[in-house]
Amino acid sequence: MSYEIKLDIFEGPLDLLLYLIRKNEIDITNIPIALITAQYLEYLEMMRSLNLDLAGEYLLLAATLVHIKSKMLLPPVEGELEEEEGEDPRAELVQQLLEYQAFKEAALSLDRRPLLDRDLFTRGAPEEALSAEEGGEPEALIEVGVFELVAAFRRIVAGLERPEEMEIDAEKISLADRINEILVRLEEEKQLTFEELIGERRERRRIIYTFLAILELMKLRMVRAYQSGPFGAIRIFPAVEEE
């Protein structure tokens, strides 16, 4: 049985790029394109290895980045020295990023407004479609984003000492089992760190299934992830049922 996990919490390639720019504390108008391209491709590779559904847009931006990088390496073509030299191959992308960033911030400021049926209510209004939404698009309330989770996952995988030896009789774990196991443990302990959930046996397979199980549970809104600060331990809590 194969699981395909689609991450609706990913807001797209521009979001990933902005994340990398922020992470590296880079000036958005002066992006070191080689560095960012390398990191971007690394993330894509990781997502692919996790079997995450990579939308074509991610690949398109990868192609754009590589194209810009190659353009910046080439000496300017003769004859376009005068006017064309001032044209930065990154300009269009920067424009697009700034525009996206502005809307991303606008979205956040919209969300911070007092919202009807969340922060304020009208007189005995019937439940509106907004709250009565069932089975529609999954709407994630995520305190720790998927990027942080992916970063935590990488750290743990990087900490594996040696490549595992092939074991034909390896313990068979399924994603469903792992999900149930996590839910049971969370019910008992109320909160667990990502590392505690993985446990002592640091096998690649186990780590990956734990990671996928948490992503799935976050998507189903059965758990929530919080982080105390950058690089802090990620804590997983059972989502409190408000029914």
Question: Under the rule (CB under 8 A), what is the footprint of another protein?
Answer: 8-9, 11-15, 55, 57, 61, 95-96, 98-111, 113-123, 127-131, 133, 136-141, 242-243
Residue 39: closest CA among 55, 60, 16: 16
Q: How far is CA 233 from CA 114, 185, 226, in A?
A: 31, 18, 8
Q: Smaller CB distance to another protein: residue 42 or 117? A: 117
Distance between CA atoms of 43 and 87, rounded to whole angstroms? 29
Q: Smaller CB distance to another protein: residue 74 or 121? A: 121
Q: Smaller CB distance to another protein: residue 9 or 217? A: 9
CB of 128 to another protein, least distance (A): 7
CB of 68 to another protein, least distance (A): 15
CB of 12 to another protein, least distance (A): 4
Indicate the angle between helix axes 56-73 and 91-112, nearest 10 degrees: 140
Quick one: CA torsion of 138, 56, 154, 30, rounded to 10 degrees?
-110
Q: List the structure tokens of 40.
A: 């971007």
CB of 171 to another protein, least distance (A): 36
CB of 93 to another protein, least distance (A): 10
Quick one: CA torsion of 84, 89, 91, 94, rounded to 10 degrees?
-170
Residue 146: closest CA among 8, 1, 2, 3: 8
Contact 53, 4 (CB under 8 A): yes
Q: Smaller CB distance to another protein: residue 140 or 157? A: 140
Q: Smaller CB distance to another protein: residue 78 or 119? A: 119
CB of 51 to another protein, least distance (A): 20
Contacts of 233 (CB under 8 A, 6+ apart): 193, 194, 195, 227
Q: Smaller CB distance to another protein: residue 47 or 207? A: 47
